[in-house]
Structure 1
């Protein structure tokens, strides 16, 4: 859906003289945005969504483990929150209030999915010819394509970190940690004391842990990335559904 198709714009009859959502959301506190949205200003709720989209998406994604289901859950949660804004009193932060609604929606989806799941008796499953059932019974998690790809990426990262070790540490680590030579054997090969082998191996492992931890920390903020397209898609979906519900309600009143 393009931006021009959104049900709310600066020229929309219901928006009056409100600023554009980006301008409104830049300086206005959450509590003020909530009051404006509760008073019927759709642009204020759009600003709320754009401000908290990533936090709420990651909350839903962590529970549901599916990007698409997290998006659907987030839209439902936003619609619930929009309808309940009159009950928001500001005793907690708006973000906390929204996260609670989003988490409850996600957990509710999990419960409904579990309640509606088909449970196949073990005896019937063992005799089943259904390909999905057979795969579930015979599949080896370590041999799944996604698992193999993840292991390849981890191996590349580990190899790169090993290459960064000082020469003396790297050689000891390869012989002791990768090739699994004994301390005595490594000492004989490199013609160094066994105590030195132990010290260098310990230090090499410590450096690897520190390097891998730094790499994880550097990429952690990018986990479950939330790009502009996804943000726009969720906002557009919520506004469209809200607009459709308002129109349906108006027709019913008539």
Structure 2
């Protein structure tokens, strides 16, 4: 993705983030979670923009992603005593700074992190994709998270 593509997407973000946030809150999502889920929605949209066919308004597509993101979040919250991505609470940087950090991860950490954390793909699928064990996928994802955490902490110093 070129820098120009990111700038175009930033415009989409600016034009629609408030709408997505209000959509989530109107559905009963607490405001703080709605802020986080709005950012998650746009990360997912950026990763899957090639799937947008223009059959509906972009804002409708974004709200659908937001709804699915919230439902997944709620399902996980009920199942697990601790959130899957606890470190997100420590990520006070903007969406664009966060995306830059993810982009700076070397392979296969970047693609495994994106597939697991953002696309919510199961470890079994990742192991098949890379021709490795599920244990390899889990360790690689864990190491990617640790690398991101270290990059964030380094930036805070």
TM above 0.5, yes or no, is yes
Counterpart selection for 1:81 from 45, 51, 66 = 45
Provide closer, same or farther for how the CA distance between residues 243 and 91 of structure 1 changes in structure 2, counting only shifts above 3 A.
same
How far off is 1:64 after superposition? 4.6
Provide closer, same or farther for how the CA distance between residues 250 and 240 of structure 1 changes in structure 2, counting only shifts above 3 A.
farther
CA distance in 1, matches of 2:46, 2:108: 21
Residue in 1 that maps onto 2:21 = 57
Residues 64, 110 of structure 1: 8 Å contact kept:
no
Provide closer, same or farther for how the CA distance between residues 92 and 250 of structure 1 changes in structure 2, counting only shifts above 3 A.
same
Q: Deviations over 1:139-175 (max 9, x none)?
A: xxxxxxxxxxxxxxxxxxxxxxxxxxxxxxxxxxxxx
**Residue 242 in 1 paired to residue 90 in 2?**
no
CA distance in 1, matches of 2:79, 2:109: 34
3-state SS of 2:78 partner? helix
Alignment of 1:131-170 (within 5 A): none
CA distance in 2, matches of 1:101, 1:238: 17
How far off is 1:246 after superposition? 1.0
Provide closer, same or farther for how the CA distance between residues 249 and 61 of structure 1 changes in structure 2, counting only shifts above 3 A.
farther
Alignment of 1:35-50 (within 5 A): 41-50=5-14
How far off is 1:252 after superposition? 6.2
3-state SS of 1:41 partner? helix
Q: Deviations over 1:198-224 (max 9, x none)?
A: xxxxxxxxxxxxxxxxxxxxxxxxxxx
CA distance in 1, matches of 2:103, 2:17: 23
Residue in 1 that maps onto 2:89 = none
How far off is 1:60 after superposition? 1.8
Give structure 1 stretches of 5+ with no counterpart. 1-13, 16-39, 118-233
Residue in 1 that maps onto 2:77 = 113
Counterpart selection for 2:35 from 65, 71, 82 = 71
Give structure 2 stretches of 5+ with no counterpart. 82-91, 111-157
Q: State the structure with more CA Rg.
A: 1
Q: CA RMSD in A?
A: 2.7
Residues 63, 106 of structure 1: 8 Å contact kept:
no
